[in-house]
Amino acid sequence: MDRLASTVISGEEPASQPFEATTVRDRYSRSGGSRIRVWLARLGVTLFATVAVVGFLSPLILSMTVSIKSIEQISQPGQPVLASSPVTYNYNGRDLTVYYVQVDGKTEQLALVSSNRAANTMRFVDPNSPDAPPIVLTGNRFDLSIVYKIDPQFQNFQTAWNDLGFLRELLNTIALATIETIGVLLSCTLVAYGFARFRFPGRNVLFILVIATIFLPTFATIIPIYTIFTKVLGWQGTWLPLIVPAFFANAYDVFLLRQFLMTIPRDLDEAAALDGAGPIRTLVSVILPQAWPAVVAVAIFTFVYSWNDYFGPLLYLGSSQDLWPLSIGLATFHGQHNLQEPGVVQAATLMSIVVPLIFFLVFQRFFVRGIRITGVET
Amino acid sequence: MTGLALRRSKGASLAQREARWGYIFLSPWIIGFLAFTLIPMVATFVFSFTNIELNSNRPVEFVGLKNWQDIFGDSQMWASLGVTLKFAILQLPLAVILPFLIAMLVNSKRLIAPGLFRILFFMPYTVPFVAGVVIWEQMENPTSGWIGQFLGIFGISAPNWLNDPTLIYPALVILGLWGVGGGMIVYLGGLQGIPSELYDAAKIDGAGWWGQLWHVTIPMMTPVFLYTLVLSIVDVLQYFLVVQVINNGVGEPGGTTMFYNLWLYKNFFTYGHEGYASAMAWFLFAITLVITLGVFASARRWVYYAGER
């Protein structure tokens, strides 16, 4: 089970299927022509997957390119893909735009000094020989293309960091996610242990109720909860409405942990019980050391879930900017600045996804295992 | 005799002690279930028959069916329900089938480096919700977005998706594509749980790729389809946070993004009509329940459980 889960993403074949390689069809395809066909098929499938994945991830790449662009470049059509700005040439104290110009069949980069629409003429100066007489050509400057140079606006990240109050929101996000993770780990481990190791009347009914809450719409319960938290307990503008429920277990993580605990043999528990260990000591010294993959999975899930949560902060922290995590900070920043400074907004967005992405890349096996357990086994 | 009686009484007390520990360990969930699920659900139902207001100290009174009559007589409620259902019809097939297709792709024996593709397809699933919306909004921007520029290659002028009443739903569906990674992993787990003997048997019977897909893979995957379908239905009926981020939930263009839950959210948080919002919440809950129970009832006909013969 353990091994199978970790092979899902790494792509190794599970060891339990040793006959996979020699299927009927393969035995007939040992000859040279068929082998080429198999390789062509592999190339075709891989090429298709590559195109699909590039398209799938292209918004991320677009966001990166936009994050270092100026507003001038983003708002005008027909601009280069990469962050660039028009090349200018300072001539007699004026910044002139440089164009690609056809002179005697050759393309030259010339700075436009002036254009006369009535006479349909343009006067250019060559930046390489500014003292030469101006070159006069017929035509319209709108038919020419502007010369661009690569010009990334890395200061967009600096602007986003300062304007968003990024550091404070980052620390808020980390603090909230850490507290919620502790709450979920404590409560869900206890509840899962109760379901996995103890027999008591009503256990199956209660477990079905746990599963049923996965399918319950948020709005079926949120109105009284919000009213109690804010009007009765006065928790509006505090982290308490986000933190407190985490300490009372949730269906997904209880289910995930319970499924994992069920796979741990009971021999060691029973040995510990014979040695006089109580249920809590058995949990801490026997069960948890064996259950750590599932515990880590739940910890990562909760941390990332909390990091990404937007609805909770939107309800309870709306006007308390000092307490905002990144999600609501970014949404508000987007609402205020997206029209004027899309580059800065994308820079802020990219900064806000760095931590979850690193988390994912480091712990991807645990992610996959957790989703598999909750998804396939219900 | 006494020994047997002693053992029996000791056994009973052991079972009782075990049960007591069980309830103790369950207590966080039991308290949470009562406080955050059962009592709030009942309270929402009771609220729906009162004139309770969020920001008013006026004494709360029962008003009978008034809120229910109000919501059923509110054309905006029906319009928002229509918006949600229209979007759901467009989004649901994609939410159920696309992750399956991607899982098939990254599970293919013909694919080189499948592990890398699995990571890349799953990665956006961990991108924070708000960030994902902001990034995709840029992608769909008519001047600088790559979708418009890609269409431009074929001479199709870039649509202003997010401000177009007819294209807004496809735009929102595309905007949600980054979530397919979670479904992909669930399907992938299902695909890898199919015993390879079944494929071997199908091959001996002369089944090709399509035959194996149709007679082995899809029947074996029906439980996973059911799970994904039900969760997707519950999710899509609650859809509104994306448009809350994109245009601050004003319903533009032309009311086409006034989703049911956005209208509910506005009635509760903006206008403070708590009784009215409670009736809306229970109406949505009832709709969700009827649809999902309908799906579960239909499951007998199309879901195959390997354990049953």
pTM, full prediction: 0.81
Pull the structure tokens for residue B32: 């949470």
Interface of B with A in 118-157 (CB under 8 A): 118-124, 126-131, 134-139, 141, 143-146
Chain B: closest CA distance from residue A112 (Å) = 27
The string of pLDDT tens digits covering residues B245-296 is 887 777 778 788 899 999 999 999 888 899 999 999 999 999 999 999 999 9
CA distance B120 to chain A (A): 7
pLDDT score at A7: 38
pLDDT of residue A11: 42
The whole-number pLDDT of residue B285 equals 93
Contact yes or no for A215 and B231 at CB 8 A: yes
| Tokens describing residue A131 | 């003292």
- Quick one: pLDDT at residue B301? 86
For an interface test with A, the pick among B17, B18, B20, B25 (most A C-beta atoms closer than 10 Å) comes out as B25
Residues 6+ positions from B84 with CB-CB distance below 8 Å = B236, B237, B239, B259, B260, B261
The answer on pLDDT for B5 being more than 50 is no
Among A19-33, B80-94, B152-166, B269-283, the minimum mean pLDDT is found in A19-33
pLDDT at B309: 39
Cβ within 8 Å of A, B 240-299: 241, 244-245, 248, 261, 264, 268-269, 274, 277-278, 280-282, 284-285, 288, 292
Interchain CB contact of B189 with A (< 8 Å): yes
Residues A376, B190: C-beta atoms closer than 8 Å: yes
Mean pLDDT, residues B138-148: 81
Query: From CA A335, how far away is CA A344, in angstroms rounded?
Result: 12
Q: Would you say residue A350 has pLDDT above 50?
A: yes
Residue type, A102: Q
CA dist., res. A366 & res. A71, Å (int) = 41
pLDDT at A162 over 80: yes
Helix, strand or coil, per DSSP, at residue B55: coil
Contacting residues of A for B282, CB less than 8 Å apart:
220
- Whether B105 has its CB under 8 Å from any CB of chain A: the answer is yes
pLDDT at B11: 55
Greater confidence, B23 or A71?
B23
pLDDT confidence of A377, banded at 50, 70, 90?
low
A308: distance to nearest CA of chain B, Å? 4
Backbone φ, ψ for residue B252 (5° rounding)? -70, 155
Residue A10 has a pLDDT of 44
Each residue's pLDDT tens digit, A251-300? 989 988 998 888 888 888 888 888 888 888 989 888 998 888 889 888 98
Q: Give residue-wise pLDDT tens across range A205-248.
A: 999 999 889 888 888 899 999 999 988 898 988 999 999 999 99
Residue A216 is classified by DSSP as S
pLDDT tens column, A57-69: 988 888 888 888 7
- For residue A14, pLDDT beyond 60: no
Tell me, what's the pLDDT at A355?
Answer: 87
Using CB atoms, which residue from B177, B188, B281 is nearest to A223? B281
DSSP per residue, A351-366: HHHHHHHHHHHHHHHH
Which range has the top average pLDDT, A75-79, A143-147, A317-321?
A317-321
Q: How confident is the model at residue A33 (pLDDT cuts 50, 70, 90)?
A: confident
Supply the mean pLDDT for chain A.
81
CA A129 – CA A228 distance, rounded (Å): 77
Pairing of strands A94-103, A106-116: antiparallel
Cβ atoms B173, B182 nearer than 8 A: no
For A111, the token pair is: 């700075």
Q: Does position A360 have pLDDT exceeding 90, yes or no?
A: no
Environment class of A205 (CB within 10 Å of its CB; exposed 0-12, middle 13-18, buried 19+): exposed
- Tens digits of residue pLDDT in B183-195: 888 888 888 888 8
* pLDDT tens digits along B234-256: 999 999 888 888 877 777 787 88
CB atoms within 10 A of CB A45: 17
